[in-house]
Amino acid sequence: MSSSSSISRNVVAALALVTQATARLALDSSSNVAVYWGQNSINQASGPNAQQRLVDYCANTNIDVIPLAFLYEMTTGTGGEPVINFANQASDCQIFAGTNLLDCPTIGADITTCQQQYGKTILLSIGGATYTEGGFTSSAQAVSMADHLWELFGPVAGGTPTTTSTSSESSLSTTTTTTSSTSSTSSTTSALSTPTSTSSPFTSSSGFISSTSRSGKTTSEPSTSTSLSTLLLTRTVPVTTFSTRLTTLFFTATLTSIPSSIFASPTTTTTPSPLLNDTLTLPSYVNSTFTNATISNTTITNSTINNSIITNSTINNSVFINSTITNSIFINSTIINPQILDSTLAKRQSAVLRLFGSAAIDGFDLDIETVATNMVPFAQRLRELMDADTSKQRYLTAAPQCVYPDVANSALLSSTVHLDAIFVQFYNNPCGVQAFVPGAATQEAFNFAAWDTWAKTVSANPAIKVLLGVPGGPSAAGLGYVDASTLAGIISYCKGFSSFGGVMMWDASQALANGGFLADVKSALVGSATKMMIRGMSWR
């Protein structure tokens, strides 16, 4: 018959296997362990204690949640793209051209392995101590950035994306543009051809070119004609399946002189139109036939679209293209949009630079440590986008300082935004774990009780989990580190609050270099469950 000690060891081993099989952010549990990764706060460039690859920490059965730290610029990054820093792990990354955004396929592969093989919850943490942008200038800007981050880090729509900023695909299908010339006594315009792909989200567009009469013509001309020097293209683009940020639109106009006589009947030509550079999801091809015209330039580039954003609504973008012509004529022109097939929907990723490739994070963490405006509409939009994705559960968390109320997050924490958990930083403040008084029923400085009250009476989610944030090692914070034995007593106290959801640690490099600290903390969290299982086995 097994001794009680061997039973205990067997139970602990069994619990470890269960933990590995179900490791994730469990909103019905008080034994979650979240460990931040990305900043190498132990500050060692190499060696066993330096920050390792993400997947190495995912293999650790004592960790359930890993927030990636940090995305620290949203509105001021080069090229309009956010900026992320992963310390020594950025050495395997490239940088997308024209931006400071990292391109990290290795980390993307690790994220997928962490989720699928190890069952970890991977969050992207926004902010950190070096975040200084102060939020957003308006709620519209906040919502727009939330949409863009979801494009960058959420699930891929329509297939596998590219992770290069200058990609093209030669095998894409072509479409046909029909153009015609008319006599100089009339001026007409033609409507856009309807795309043949039923899956295309682009449903309508129109354009025209018109001009004044031929010099010396004696017949009367329409008085409302305008100069050929301006081509007005108005695009009405209802987007139903995805959104795209456009910065520069390129047009090519092929201009010819057919026929030579102004009295000739209108002629029609059919010309195949190759899909233009697919850095844009909605390129257009212009082919016009002119009557007896001399054209001084045939290629028009860099039309003005200053960061126009197509979102899930109808937006009209007017694009003006200027050209020069030495003779005034009447023409008829057709502008057509290429087919967008199901197989090419993912080409939106040519304009959306995905740092992690096809990997998608499990949610966002807001680690805002200075006052930032319009964070509520930003967080609310992230919540809406994640909730609309029914493929899996996604999470929105925050990481306030333990001082209550936390000024930097007061608007967010008192709003109607549904947060799943908060990782309260009980360090670097007088309210940290170092202020805990063992055996005291009422804690004067250590204020987990205040956060439990917030969770139940103020939070938009009364079932929110509050995680006890601690330094993972002696040098991880200026104030607040306690050893595992002391922390076990604090954990026992916090378990008396129903909102308690586990422990958060800063950071992975510190925790793993700190001997058995991580394992001891996990043991303290699951200890009561172990004891119950041991008692049950002994009783039998």
Whole-number Cα distances in Å, 322 to 41, 209, 251, 509: 55, 11, 11, 57
Question: Which range has the worst mean pLDDT, 67-71, 90-94, 162-166?
Answer: 162-166
Q: Which of 295, 316, 348 is the last residue of a domain?
A: 348
Q: What is the CA radius of gyration of the chain?
A: 30
User: Is 15 domain-assigned?
Assistant: no
Range of the domain at 68: 22-156+354-422+433-498+520-526
Query: What residues pair up with 123 in beta bridges, in sequence order?
Result: 67, 363
266 pLDDT higher than 50 = no
Whether 275 and 407 share a structural domain: no
CB distance 318 to 305 below 8 Å = no
Instruction: Calculate ∠ Cα 245-380-354, nearest 5°.
Output: 35
402 within domain boundaries? yes
Q: Which helix (H) or strand (E) holds 95?
A: strand 94-95
Report if residue 55 sits inside a domain.
yes
Continuous H helices in 267-374: none
Same-domain pairing of 343 and 412 = no
Average pLDDT over residues 172-192: 28
What pLDDT, in 10s, does the model give residues 338-348? 333 443 444 44
- Cα(312)–Cα(310) distance, integer angstroms: 7
Same domain as 343, residue 243: yes
Q: Other C-beta atoms within 10 Å of 400: how many? A: 25
Neighbours of 73 (CB within 10 A): 20
Whether 145 shows a pLDDT value over 70: the answer reads yes
Q: What is the rounded average pLDDT of the residues 399-411?
A: 98
HSE-CB at 48 with a 13 A cutoff on CA atoms is 4
Burial 158-179 (b: 16+ CB within 10 A, else e): beebbbebeeeeeebeebebeb
Handedness of CA 476, 478, 479, 483 (dihedral sign): positive
**Measured between alpha carbons, how far is 405 from 371 in angstroms, rounded to an integer?**
13
73 and 124 both lie in a single domain: yes
Residue 338 DSSP symbol:
P
Query: What type of residue is 268?
Result: T
Q: Are residues 328 and 368 in the same domain?
A: no
For residue 274, CA distances in Å to 154, 161, 171 come to 31, 21, 10
From the list 171, 141, 151, the residue with the least C-alpha distance to 356 is 151
Is 3 within the bounds of a domain? no
Residues 363 and 343 grouped into a single domain: no
Please say if the pLDDT value at position 485 is more than 80. Answer: yes
Terminal-to-terminal C-alpha distance of the chain: 12
The answer, yes or no, to whether residue 320 has pLDDT greater than 80, is no
Q: Is the pLDDT of residue 360 over 90?
A: yes
Total domains in the fold of the chain: 2
Task: Give me the half-sphere count of Cα atoms (radius 13 Å) on the Cβ side of residue 141.
Answer: 14
22 alpha-carbon distance from chain centroid: 26
Distance CA 449, CA 462 (A): 15
pLDDT of residue 353 exceeding 70:
yes
Work out the average pLDDT over 320-345.
Answer: 36
Q: What angle do CA 222, 226, 227 make, to 5 degrees?
A: 125
Identify the pLDDT of residue 403.
98
The DSSP line for 103-167 is E-HHHHHHHHHHHHTT--EEEEEEE-TT--S-B-SSHHHHHHHHHHHHHHHSPPSSSPPP--TT-
Domain boundary among 302, 333, 348: 348
Helix, strand counts (H, E) of the chain:
10, 22
Q: Are residues 493 and 384 in the same domain?
A: yes
Strand ranges (E), 168-311: 175-181, 204-208, 230-236, 244-245, 248-257, 268-273, 285-290, 299-304, 309-310
Q: 99: exposed, middle or buried (C-beta count within 10 Å: 0-12, 13-18, 19+)?
A: middle
Mean pLDDT calculated for residue range 46-59: 96
Q: Say if residue 338 is in the same domain as residue 455.
A: no
Residues 148 and 275 in one domain: no
Residue at 165 is within a domain = no
| Length in residues, the chain | 540
- When pLDDT is cut at 50, 70 and 90, the band that residue 197 belongs to is very low
On whether residue 224 sits in a domain, the answer given is: yes
Q: Could you tell me the pLDDT band of residue 92, with boundaries at 50, 70 and 90? A: confident
Residue with tokens 């395997």: 92
Whether residue 309 is contained in a domain is answered as yes
CA gap 387, 393 in Å, rounded: 8
Place of tokens 């994070």: 361
418 and 441 together in one domain: yes
DSSP code for 475:
T
Using the Cα atoms of residue 416, residue 422, residue 428 and residue 434 in order, give the sign of their dihedral. positive
pLDDT class for 12, splitting at 50, 70, 90?
very low
**The domain that contains 42 carries what CATH number?**
3.20.20.80
Closest CA relative to residue 179, chosen from 262, 255, 252: 255
CA angle 243, 249, 254 (to 5 degrees): 135
Give the dihedral of Cα atoms 290, 295, 298, 303; nearest 10 deg.
-90
Which residue, 296, 320, 348, sits at the end of a domain? 348
Question: Is residue 321 located within the same domain as residue 412?
Answer: no
- Inside any domain, residue 162: no
Residue 290 CB: number of other CB atoms within 10 A? Answer: 23
DSSP helix/strand/coil, 359: coil
For residues 261 and 403, membership in a common domain is answered with no
**pLDDT for 262:** 43
How far, in Å, CA of 112 to CA of 98, rounded? 27
pLDDT tens per residue across span 200-248:
232 233 333 333 322 222 233 333 333 333 333 333 444 333 333 333 3
Whether 281 and 329 have beta carbons less than 8 Å apart is answered as: no
